[in-house]
Amino acid sequence: MRITVIGAGAWGTAIAMAACRLSGHEVRLHARDESQATALRTQGQNARYLPGLDLPQGLQILSGALSPLVAQAGTQDLFIVATPMSGLRSTLQALQTVPGPVAWLCKGFESGTGLMPHEVQAQVAPSMQAGALSGPSFALEVARSQPTALVAASSHAAVRDALVQAFHGSALRVYANDDIVGVEVGGAVKNVLAIATGLCDGLDLGLNARAALITRGLAEMTRLGLALGAKAETFMGLSGLGDLVLTATGDLSRNRKVGLALAQGMTLQQAVGSLGHVAEGVYSARTVWQRAQALGVDMPITEAVVALLDGRLQAREAVQVLMGRGPRGESL
């Protein structure tokens, strides 16, 4: 199988490294521009995002226009879009004529439209055989070959099968799931909830508070997913509970770091600037909330995070708002 990963950030590089370690694959990593590609080739590593980790010998580094790669593609080619959510639409437009499967790694809702990735794909390339590769995963650990489990989500069995063939190995397990709506809702909402949990930990509210936030956050995620047509059981799996726990509690989580920084009194601009990476929860929180409002879905934690990011609430005020809500049953 020939695998082309578009986007040489941390996650794109890590997933290309993982594929390259499996026998029988030709793996290409497409960088944003030639200067980035040259740095990857000469340094033999992605020094900006994954310093100290050598790239596999067989990994090909490409740059430039995507059109030649699209023209050469056959049905056995697999394209992986590893751009941030903001770059998904334009990349899918460039890939819309490829005959083989396409999958994306980004998690979130598109700013402005509020669309999930598969909804963007339906607009841009409705005939494309496409899906998502998601689940609880830090790029650094995948690049190090530490044990990880992911979900290959698509309504097309051929896409699910291709993703399993491309990435399933001794260090990376890939589970197939046909509920792409649930997988994408989980991947988007967990980033928002991780900001809330980082805030909770940064304010030293305790482990009880953290557990409450994660559990009630999972209920919010599930409510929104069900309203959008997802399956309830998806949210108890890797792309729901699994990804939420990892992103809300893991020290490598960028969204969690934003919450911690806000708790320390940083402005949002300072918090985001300190990361050096994209924290998708910052950009998707408002669109998650707007989508929930349009569907009449109650998401109080998400609402508080949006107010905090907008500057309408201070850190401790957000906690007071959540704790001051009236009593209710625990059901979804």
The pairing of strands 130-134 and 148-153 is antiparallel
Beta strands, E only, the chain: 2-6, 26-30, 60-62, 77-81, 102-104, 130-134, 148-153, 172-177
Specify burial of residue 141 (Cβ count, 10 A radius: 0-12, 13-18, 19+): middle
How far apart (Å, rounded) are the C-alpha atoms in residues 308 and 87?
26
Q: Which residue has the tokens 């949990």?
A: 197
Structure token digits, residue 159:
């896409």
3-state SS track over 48-67: CCCCCCECCCCCEEECCCCH
First to last CA, the chain: 43
257 among known catalytic residues: no
| Active-site hit among 107, 190, 231, 257 | 190
How far apart (Å, rounded) are the C-alpha atoms in residues 139 and 43?
19
3-state secondary structure of 295: helix
Q: Which residues contact 49 (CB under 8 A, 6 or more apart)?
A: 9, 10, 13, 139, 277
Structure token digits, residue 70:
């699209």
| 30, β-bridge pairs | 6, 62
DSSP string, 202-214: HTT--HHHHHHHH
Q: Quick check: 104 and 79 in contact, CB under 8 A?
A: no
Say how many C-beta atoms besides its own lie within 10 A of residue 249's C-beta. 15
Say how many C-beta atoms besides its own lie within 10 A of residue 56's C-beta. 13
The residues annotated with a catalytic role in the active site are 190
